[in-house]
Structure 1
Amino acid sequence: MADGFDFSPGAQVPVSGGAGETAATQALASAAYRDCKLSKISEADSDSGKSDIKKPKLSLFEPNLGEAFSRAVQVRMLGGGRKPLIQSFGTEPQTVVEHCLSATRLRKQRDAQLSVIMVLFGLLFLPGVLLWLGGFQLKKMLAKDGGGISLLGGALLAVLGVVGLYFMVKLPLTGFWPLYVRAMVVAPVIGWWWAKQICEKAAVTMRGAWQGLLEGGGVAAKIPEAVPQDPNQTAAESLRQNLAKVSAEQSSNVVFYAGPKGILGMGTRWGSWQLAEELRPAQEGVEIHPFRSWDVVRVIHDRLRLLERSPLHTGGFPAPSVRHWIVAPVGEKAGAVSRPDGTDTDAYQIRGHEIERICNEQQFGAGNRHYLGVQFVLWDGQLVLTLMITVTVLHETLRIEVTGHALGPVNGLFTSKPEPKTKDVAKTVRFWETKKITLPLIDSDEVVRLAARAPLTWFPPVLDFLGGKLTLPEPFGLRHVWADKPWRHRFMADDALRAATPVLRVVHAAALSVLKENGVDIERFDNRSLALSGMVQSAEPKKADEYNA
């Protein structure tokens, strides 16, 4: 295909809930099943961008968090003409998207049943349904910020109820139209009761998936619509290919530096240590053996792969991910990024020969830069530590820079478990004492909202127009836009600070060995390395990307 992907293998069922999932992945996936208010998503936004909530034209059609989140993620990550995604380090974005599809599928099954009820009890008795819907819409409009009805609103609804009951009693008892008027008021109530049973059953299923994900129960996302049954099912084939593209972008070796925001997906730069000295021959009259930046980087790469080894059996580092990265600069307020293409790329990956060329040649002026990264994914994906190493040679000066980036845990909104709906009421006898009672998961207002939205779920743009929608912050990546700072967690902060010292020493030792082999006087480099080794022992997190001009 033109985009470089080969989908020749047959369709396969996407599998979720496996051992590869992490706590961060499951926390983000649980948002697809949540039933809280959409406005809560604003509390979880990070400094990387703010979610935009479009207000509803009619509050009766307003989506909850799970509905809006699932819709927004699907459109952004699978929609036609979508923009490039930022990698979600420490998570599996395809799993999150699959759970959004699975949650949407569960809602469509519920909405199909509610649509039948709306036809039987709504279309046939349309005037009555419109009156009931108008009453609930009026109730929402008169509601206070806390959700209750104001005194004036309660009085107005009571008056309307009494007037309606008066006319119902005064109507004659014979004839078609008097009976129809009574039926059009009563039939929606019967439909509401039936719809309530369906909604409660669906709510239990949704909350079970929500809790199962957060407890690590391995809840699988069921999306049979992503498995084509025959070559003519173009929609299923397109969905399967788009899911594969999400995983391919996740594996890309191109990242984006957005000024004070740091490397998107890796977090802000909290520390920087630079070793820069003059290249002098070890022996006078003997020239230095020619070498390139890539020669130094390659040895550093090999040494970093041995970080998990230790002379003492005390645990230590887990196996890190050591990888060559191409870093592209973007503006701090950039609304989108673009991935390189051409003969030097393959499925969002920069080829090895181009990486080597950038490392050796693009060290000054315009263009992308090469970094060698060592990355630790800790706390089940909640903490991502990345130390980036770059080697540059300008004139007779060799500079080796090590920078630390940290991406903290996902916001607490995504790790909160479902709680039963309760209410404190006064006891019957000891009225000065209160007791806690459990309320149904679905109240009358929620049943009306779901039933009103059900027929329109087959026309998502219309529902977005009437009920509002969630627009995700750009440039979008599932992980970094809802990440908290790691410095508020004592052990996470310790892990970030402790990782810098051994990595820095390994980098310096590897670089000095290359310099020594090529006839470079390493005395100054060695002294500077010892000084940096002392400085890094008292490393403190700083805003290294915010320069004071």
Structure 2
Amino acid sequence: MADGFDFSPGAQVPIQGSAGQTAATSALASAAYRDSPVEQILDANNEWHKSDVKKGKFSLFEPNLGEAFCRAVQARTLGGARGALIQSFGTDARMIVEHCLAASGLRKERDIRLTVITAVCGLLFLPGMLLWMGVFQLRRTLAGSQDKKAGALGTALLVAIAAVAVIALVKLPFAGFLGYYVRGMIVAPVIGWFLAKRICEKSAVDMRSRWDGLLSGGGIAAKVPEAVPGNPDEKAREELRQGLEKLSAEQQANSVFYAGPKGILGMGTRWGSWQMAEELVPRDPGKEINQFRSWDVIRAIHDKLKLLERGPLNSGGFPTPLVKHWIVSPVGEGAGGVSRPDGQDVEAFQVKPHEIQRICNHQQFSGGNRHYLGVQFVLWDGQLVITMMINVTVLHETLRVEVTGHALGPVHGLFTTKSSPKTRTVNKTVRFWETRDIVLPLVEAKEVVRLAVRAPFTWYPPLLDFLGGKLALPEPFGLRHAWAEQPWRHRFMADDAMRAATPVLRVAHAAALRVLEENGVDTDRFAGRSMAVSGAVQDPSPRKADLYDA
């Protein structure tokens, strides 16, 4: 498949995510608007996937969480040289990326205004701006780049410099133009800071309203006008549109990757496995069984799984499941990337049906990809993804039906926290034994300086990465599984995952037994084995099924 393949019929306006996946999608999308310290994302690292923060040369240029998240996600999902992405089951990956683009667009508009102020009040009075920048950088270094309060030494230094500046304004050894310039050199950056502060506060209020709106179930939709070309000459817009379409197409791919103890990437670790394996014996002595293939069994199981939402009682039960044929490729536990199947048997990230059938029937032993039939439930507004994978193999005279359970838990709690006002608790003046909360400015002085200093460099993000650092995403990367927690700490989610195993197992066994009976196989042993396995699955308990004690 060529990288330049266009997956869509033409220019389209980006759309919102699918119903039933809003919670996880909105939680991850809200990260694009956050103004928290970038190191907070390290708290969301899980057992298998760990983000990292790469430090830059100067802490004054370092990004906050929203800036670093948007930059990293956009480069990884839309970059021209990007590698394969892991599917984000339970979320709308395109919607998350669109919110990153929208947040970056808002920051660019803010940075244009800040750049004008920096040019007028800073570059024209460059020595003064460098002096004030040096003071804030030293103060930030002494206080610690992530400390909310400056240390005593840093504060004292800033006060001392300000006092010297005031004295210099009153009594200067220079006269004429040079005297006026020196005075402007001291005052102009301060005036620029005041104007920049108003712009930064307005932007912060807007960003936080979008952050909270997403987590409240509403919010403003992501608007990405640069992804909708108006004419054929707008090459950049067309490339962005195609990048989003390619992202959507890859999220619908029917190939996944098994990374050993990490489980199937994007689906979670394997927590349970149940197998029914018996010998194929003719039902009638002296007769041979009819020839059938693994695909015949899989097709029968597929048809039965489609009816899982139906039951004899009106009790709610299963929602409509996603029943899909998957091609599973093995990758190493510590693989730094994956490569999707390609060639004439793959089109638009989809392995063609005839190739799926061939793999199901013939690639059951030794090297190569394997075929699994999956039934997937997206629950809890996308916070829980339950996937039961079914594999049928025939080796010599033994038919094996294996059912395995995979569960992907909710996104880390970091992404579901709303913004909180900045306050400080102090003692009351008279009644000193009582306390009161003081509302602090939403944008602190050092934050205004950081944004104003970064603004002129936003036109070339790699330079900002070098100066201030960046967020390194875990590989192989997928938006959903990179920051997912285990579902076993949530009682009802754990119950849902374990309850899904029994009906799926029994449907798979019943369909397989019907195919065996139709083809003249003695099913007594299979029925007995099915009863034993069905009894064992009555009391399933989650475990790390891919960790072998050998």
TM-score (norm 1): 0.97
Tell me what 1:288 maps to.
289
Aligned residue for 2:437, secondary structure, equals strand
Q: Percent identity?
A: 68
Give the drift of 1:21: 4.8
Q: Distance in 1 between matches of 2:15 and 2:377?
A: 25
Are 2:192 and 1:186 aligned? no
Residues 348-369 of structure 1 show CA distances to partners (whole Å, capped at 9, x for unaligned) of 0000000000000000000000
Give the drift of 1:174: 4.3
Q: Distance in 1 between matches of 2:44 and 2:349?
A: 30
**Kept after mapping to 2: 8 A contact 1:378/1:384:** yes
Tell me what 1:203 maps to.
204
Tell me what 1:422 maps to.
423
1:356-505 equivalence runs, <5 A: 356-505=357-506
1:51-90 equivalence runs, <5 A: 51-90=51-90
1:262-301 equivalence runs, <5 A: 262-301=263-302
**Kept after mapping to 1: 8 A contact 2:101/2:224:** yes
Tell me what 2:262 maps to.
261
Q: Distance in 1 between matches of 2:8 and 2:223?
A: 23
Aligned residue for 2:130, secondary structure, equals helix
Tell me what 1:251 maps to.
252
Is the deviation greater in 429-438 or in 77-86?
429-438
One-letter code aligned to 1:392: T
Q: Residues 406, 437 of structure 1: CA spacing in aligned structure 2 closer, same or farther, 3 A cutoff?
A: same
**Kept after mapping to 2: 8 A contact 1:17/1:220:** no
Q: Distance in 1 between matches of 2:210 and 2:172?
A: 50
Q: Distance in 2 between matches of 1:265 and 1:188?
A: 49
Q: Distance in 2 between matches of 1:9 and 1:252?
A: 18
Tell me what 2:128 maps to.
128
Aligned residue for 1:419, secondary structure, equals coil
Aligned residue for 1:328, secondary structure, equals strand
Q: Residues 160, 201 of structure 1: CA spacing in aligned structure 2 closer, same or farther, 3 A cutoff?
A: closer
Tell me what 1:95 maps to.
95
Give the drift of 1:151: 3.4
Root-mean-square deviation (Å): 1.5
Q: Residues 153, 188 of structure 1: CA spacing in aligned structure 2 closer, same or farther, 3 A cutoff?
A: closer
Q: Distance in 2 between matches of 1:80 and 1:12?
A: 20
Is the deviation greater in 305-314 or in 18-27?
18-27
Is the deviation greater in 146-155 or in 537-546?
146-155
Tell me what 1:212 maps to.
213
1:107-256 equivalence runs, <5 A: 107-144=107-144, 146-172=147-173, 174-256=175-257
Q: Distance in 2 between matches of 1:470 and 1:361?
A: 43
Q: Which runs of 5+ in 2 are unaligned?
A: none
Is the deviation greater in 127-136 or in 362-371?
127-136
Give the drift of 1:260: 0.1
Tell me what 1:528 maps to.
529
Is the deviation greater in 54-63 or in 7-16?
7-16
**Kept after mapping to 1: 8 A contact 2:6/2:245:** no
Residues 116-169 of structure 1 show CA distances to partners (whole Å, capped at 9, x for unaligned) of 111111111111111111110010011046443333444444444444444443
Tell me what 2:322 maps to.
321
Give the drift of 1:218: 4.7
Figure out how many residues of one structure are paired with residues of the other and give that number.
549
One-letter code aligned to 1:548: D
Q: Distance in 1 between matches of 2:466 and 2:219?
A: 36
Q: Distance in 2 between matches of 1:77 and 1:336?
A: 14
Q: Distance in 2 between matches of 1:307 and 1:230?
A: 48
Q: Residues 97, 173 of structure 1: CA spacing in aligned structure 2 closer, same or farther, 3 A cutoff?
A: same
**Kept after mapping to 1: 8 A contact 2:6/2:242:** no
**Kept after mapping to 1: 8 A contact 2:425/2:438:** yes
Aligned residue for 1:429, secondary structure, equals coil
Q: Which runs of 5+ in 1 are unaligned?
A: none
Q: Distance in 1 between matches of 2:534 and 2:254?
A: 30
Tell me what 2:44 maps to.
44
Q: Residues 469, 8 of structure 1: CA spacing in aligned structure 2 closer, same or farther, 3 A cutoff?
A: closer
Residues 381-435 of structure 1 show CA distances to partners (whole Å, capped at 9, x for unaligned) of 0000000000000000000000000000000000001111111122222122110
Residues 176-202 of structure 1 show CA distances to partners (whole Å, capped at 9, x for unaligned) of 211221121111111111111111111
Is the deviation greater in 143-152 or in 103-112?
143-152
Q: Distance in 1 between matches of 2:300 and 2:177?
A: 91
Q: Residues 515, 311 of structure 1: CA spacing in aligned structure 2 closer, same or farther, 3 A cutoff?
A: same
One-letter code aligned to 2:207: M
One-letter code aligned to 2:378: V
Aligned residue for 2:122, secondary structure, equals helix
Give the drift of 1:437: 1.9
One-letter code aligned to 2:108: K
**Kept after mapping to 2: 8 A contact 1:46/1:480:** no
Give the drift of 1:90: 0.3
**Kept after mapping to 2: 8 A contact 1:57/1:467:** yes
Give the drift of 1:544: 0.2
Q: Residues 45, 248 of structure 1: CA spacing in aligned structure 2 closer, same or farther, 3 A cutoff?
A: same
